[in-house]
Structure 1
Amino acid sequence: MNARLAEEEATPDAATVLRRAEAACVYDVAQRTALEPASLLSARLGVSVLLKREDQQPVFSFKLRGAYNRMAQLDAVERAHGVIAASAGNHAQGVALAASRLKIHATIVMPVTAPQVKVDAVRRFGGTYTEVVLHGDSYSDAQAEAQRLREQRGATFVHPFDDLDVIAGQATIGLELLTQHQGPLHAVFVPIGGGGLAAGVASVIKARRPDVRVIGVQASDADAMACALEAGERVVLDEVGLFADGTAVKQVGTQTFLLCQRYLDDVLRVDTDAICAAIRDIYQDTRSIPEPSGALALAGLKQYAAAYGSPDGALVAVVSGANMNFDRLRFVAERAEVGEQREAVFAVTIPEQRGSFKRFCSALGQHSITEFNYRIGDLQAAHIFVGVQTTKRGEREALTEAFRANDFGVLDLTDDELAKLHLRHMIGGRSPLARDERLYRFDFPERPGALARFLDRMHPDWNISLFHYRNHGADYGRILVGLQVPPNELGLLQDFLATLGYPHVDESDNPAYRLLLRA
């Protein structure tokens, strides 16, 4: 590497990314994707919303741009030794197709939890030029194995985001949309995982049109870039949520951090419900279904529009990918109503006596019930889990006050993950036998042996007093477990949780659990 290139990689700036993006050879394989108006959403928000359709790429993701641009720069010796990559899916597909077009052997390491649709696509795009290795439960595991194989084989590692040629390939999206929309443009919203897309788009837009805001969007439970920018340095997250699996990164890149720190105007965090609502918005306007990471930018755009009103120009969201597992749609549909604030969820306590249910229905007024769960369990009080359709902001608060005016106890559970994911299916589960019960939510890898590992490591004297699982098509299973653990063994419980290694949340003090399930 010559001195100029080494300096560029040590201190990357917008001018460097712009120069490399203008010279990028991505269009050997990638398409110039459409910049389409989202007419229905624009009318609803009162602002011009445009969608940059990277889900239309041959691999249904923007990742092809960066992967191909990096691999096209390899010299003859490097091509002879092949390339290696680690990816949960979209980068892998880009590397596979690039390998096939450039006739370079590629070894791609994917976690065993990667969606099958993505694993199959990698094999299909890469053909005889690609070897797929399944290893580990996470991207970090796959990356470690890829580095081991790289050293063993002497192959070139194609990083999914922390490489200037990869960043420049993704930056061509920014160049395209500036050409496609030369009128008033207020802000461009981009999803962030490791930061390659955000770094590239922000750099070229600030180099060409510094007045346009560039805003990154992350899932609230996978916010490595937001945390890094707040800390002023790269940080490593202990755990990341897996719903938006394409952006589930524990640490952002060195170069991507420097570029985002310098050129991004802001980073927004959005929750799972907001992502599901954005998936539905994109479907309603385009009849296409993005993956969760592909809808991140639009979820952030909607949050921005709600907070700041009508801006002085269009808002653009990059729809980054559409490699969605079909089975996950059930979960998305279930949560989109809450994400769009069209459903509120409550736990309501009413007297177990004649006339109470009539008063409860009267308090609901004209609202439609979307879900109702009740089971008799007490001679004095009835606990009801109810979903209510809403049409505008403020209705949750009005309903809460209406319940209280009737002397009903009420918990607003609309933002309570435990209630929405598990308790809504388990009403009536109190038991006087569940002494010393501790309640935990776990993310289990969705593969054979995950539950067996849990049971094998659990103390043989502890009893499972509650267990709930519902498959929703993701790469991991969400499990709710009640464990009966004597108070003097809570230290052993913490040791068990630490060695198990599964992401978990202690819900023992959750108010909904204490009201509806705890004896």
Structure 2
Amino acid sequence: MTINYLKKILTARVYDVARETELELAPALTERLGNRILLKREDNQPVFSFKLRGAYNKMAQLGSAALKRGVIAASAGNHAQGVALAAAKMKCKAVIVMPVTTPAVKIDAVKARGGSWTELVLFGESYSDAFDHAKVLEKKRGLSFVHPFDDPDVIAGQGTIAQEILQQHQAPIDAIFVAIGGGGLIAGIGEYVKAVRPETKIIGVQAADSDAMRQSLKAGRRVELKEVGLFSDGTAVKIVGKETFRICKRVVDDIITVDTDEICAAINDVFTDTRSILEPAGALAIAGLKKYVEKKKVKDKTLVAIACGANMNFSRLRFVAERADVGEFREAVFAVTIPEERGSFKRFCQLLGKRNVTEFNYRIADQAKAHIFVGIGTQKSADSAEIAKHFTKAGFATIDLTHDELAKSHLRHMVGGHSPLAHDELLYRFEFPERPGALMRFLTSMAPNWNISLFHYRNHGADYGRILVGIQVPKNEQKQFQSFLASLGYPHWNESANPAYRLFLK
């Protein structure tokens, strides 16, 4: 049976709970990318996600008998909130199954929105696990299933976003970028756009480790992934829907995949333009738009990205901030080897010049060589190769770690440890105002007659820079060392007796 999606979208019931969201210009992205970038702000919905559109429209189509028996849903988080809100408004019992990996902010929101009308069940590690368990409970309890994406009424509800976009911007739109998990959002948007403005491209965006739709379209059949990544938990779907796949074969023009660093960079971009913080799945479309522009050398076009969710766990922000600079090519990281001899440390510092140093880690470990982990602020992707070449030319063996997952996730936090060479070591903490060039001024001042055996600095965006330094000072030179500290003029604290230092570094 052929489904008239244009009619279903035009008659969808979503505005009892949803609102028409803004289509906003992203000025910083527009200027930087050389294209007119518009963001459809579905993160401003009452549940901070587009999902309540499809959930409510589906439940609004159920008969009174079905609503009286109750509904059940499986969700990675945002669909659950939509079902919970709809259930409370319709006074309908809802059982919601979510993966145990669901961020706490989404679990708490479901409880708050559904109240006594909602029963929450945590099961499995992915949406697919939760879905299988929900299907068992559906039969066991005689409930009506509210699918998060593979249902015509859900798809039609999400399609109302496209209806709003084309009403809000009646001039030509060259492409609309849409995040894909199971495919409900892009199916609904694609159906409406291709019926009304077929010249507008529909471009899907997926996390590289959860690209079931991309693989399925390439294979010409639905492909089930063995594993999915969990950073973009809202799109962590192992197999796409039958109906969404059928629609996407017809309406999707291209699919872009992005990695975690690119998603983090997109979260940062949206924050810069809107002061709002999207969740990873919510920023997928923006990350894909940026990659598409770079890949296709697009200029002077009007591009729309769906900012589709903002249910971000606060605890994730540190990771996002850490990785955003790498994803945006604003930071490059290197392993640099210098001779373990007097003067080489200062020579390396001079080589850094006026570059913004974001990280500097070192621990004495070899009598002949010193290995330094250094992060440097950059402007473009090619900068890391140029900097590495600059270090190598100066005689310092250099490895570019900018795209090394082990180094970015783990090793940068593990540089150090016990060292049998660190005899007569004193450990001091220093602080200085975190201004451009302040670290380099500190580094050049740290050129005493004593050997530096440990150095740790990381720019976390605070107002004061905090540095930990180990210096090897013989006991008969303590007085001269104290005079040196006084001449530095930086606040400092002696941590040589700190028990944590003695356990892990001494």
TM bucket, shorter chain:
0.7 to 0.9
User: 1:228 maps to which residue?
Assistant: 216
Runs (4+) of structure 1 exceeding 6 A deviation are none
Alignment-mate amino acid for residue 154 of structure 1: G
- Contact 2:34-2:300 at 8 Å conserved across structures: no
- Contact 2:264-2:324 at 8 Å conserved across structures: yes
Is 1:206 paired with 2:197?
A: no
1:243-283 deviation per Cα after TM superposition (whole angstroms, max 9, x unaligned): 11111111111111111121111110111111111111111
Given candidates 250, 261, 264, the residue that maps to 2:238 is: 250
Is 1:279 paired with 2:278?
A: no
Given candidates 69, 85, 110, the residue that maps to 1:81 is: 69
Equivalence map 1:1-400=2 (5 Å)? 7-8=1-2, 16-400=4-388
Residue 168 of structure 1 deviates from its aligned partner by: 0.8
Q: Residues of 2 paired with 1:261 and 1:385: CA distance?
A: 47
1:3-28 deviation per Cα after TM superposition (whole angstroms, max 9, x unaligned): xxxx23xxx6xxx2222111101111
Q: Residues of 1 paired with 2:398 and 2:249: CA distance?
A: 44
Number of residue-to-residue matches in the alignment: 420
Residue 284 of structure 1 deviates from its aligned partner by: 1.3
1:174-216 deviation per Cα after TM superposition (whole angstroms, max 9, x unaligned): 1110110011211100001111101111111111111111111
1:9-58 deviation per Cα after TM superposition (whole angstroms, max 9, x unaligned): xxx6xxx2222111101111110100000112211222111000001111
User: 1:495 maps to which residue?
Assistant: none
Residue 309 of structure 1 deviates from its aligned partner by: 3.3
Equivalence map 1:439-454=2 (5 Å)? none
TM-score between both structures, scaled by the size of structure 1 = 0.78
Q: Residues of 2 paired with 1:312 and 1:350: CA distance?
A: 47
- Contact 2:34-2:299 at 8 Å conserved across structures: no
Q: Alignment partner of 1:185: what SS? A: coil
Q: Residues of 2 paired with 1:202 and 1:343: CA distance?
A: 37
Distance 1:128 1:387, change over 3 A: same
Given candidates 414, 420, 437, the residue that maps to 2:402 is: 414
Q: Residues of 1 paired with 2:402 and 2:339: CA distance?
A: 23
Residue 345 of structure 1 deviates from its aligned partner by: 0.7
Moved more, 103-112 or 53-62: 103-112
Q: Residues of 1 paired with 2:8 and 2:418: CA distance?
A: 63
- Contact 1:186-1:311 at 8 Å conserved across structures: no
Q: Alignment partner of 1:241: what SS? A: coil
1:203-247 deviation per Cα after TM superposition (whole angstroms, max 9, x unaligned): 111111111111111111111111111222111112111111111
Residue 313 of structure 1 deviates from its aligned partner by: 3.0
Structure 1 residues not aligned, in runs of 5+: 1-6, 433-519
Structure 2 residues not aligned, in runs of 5+: 421-506
Distance 1:125 1:388, change over 3 A: same
- Contact 2:36-2:300 at 8 Å conserved across structures: no
Q: Alignment partner of 2:174: what SS? A: strand
Q: Residues of 1 paired with 2:354 and 2:191: CA distance?
A: 51
User: 1:472 maps to which residue?
Assistant: none
Q: Alignment partner of 1:27: what SS? A: coil
- Contact 1:237-1:251 at 8 Å conserved across structures: yes
Q: Alignment partner of 1:166: what SS? A: helix
User: 1:480 maps to which residue?
Assistant: none
Q: Residues of 1 paired with 2:68 and 2:356: CA distance?
A: 65
Alignment-mate amino acid for residue 22 of structure 2: A
User: 2:435 maps to which residue?
Assistant: none
- Contact 2:175-2:201 at 8 Å conserved across structures: yes
Q: Residues of 1 paired with 2:217 and 2:117: CA distance?
A: 39
Alignment-mate amino acid for residue 76 of structure 2: A
Distance 1:293 1:334, change over 3 A: same
User: 2:469 maps to which residue?
Assistant: none
The structure having more radius of gyration, on CA atoms, is: 2
- Contact 1:190-1:217 at 8 Å conserved across structures: yes
Identity %: 62
Q: Residues of 1 paired with 2:304 and 2:5: CA distance?
A: 21
Residue 77 of structure 1 deviates from its aligned partner by: 2.1
Residue 393 of structure 1 deviates from its aligned partner by: 3.8
User: 1:481 maps to which residue?
Assistant: none
Alignment-mate amino acid for residue 307 of structure 1: K
Q: Residues of 2 paired with 1:312 and 1:395: CA distance?
A: 26
User: 2:447 maps to which residue?
Assistant: none
Moved more, 39-48 or 89-98: 39-48
Q: Residues of 2 paired with 1:126 and 1:321: CA distance?
A: 19
Q: Residues of 2 paired with 1:101 and 1:368: CA distance?
A: 53
Q: Residues of 2 paired with 1:414 and 1:54: CA distance?
A: 33
Residue 310 of structure 1 deviates from its aligned partner by: 4.1
Is 1:401 paired with 2:389?
A: yes
Residue 430 of structure 1 deviates from its aligned partner by: 9.4
Q: Residues of 2 paired with 1:270 and 1:307: CA distance?
A: 12
Q: Residues of 2 paired with 1:393 and 1:415: CA distance?
A: 11
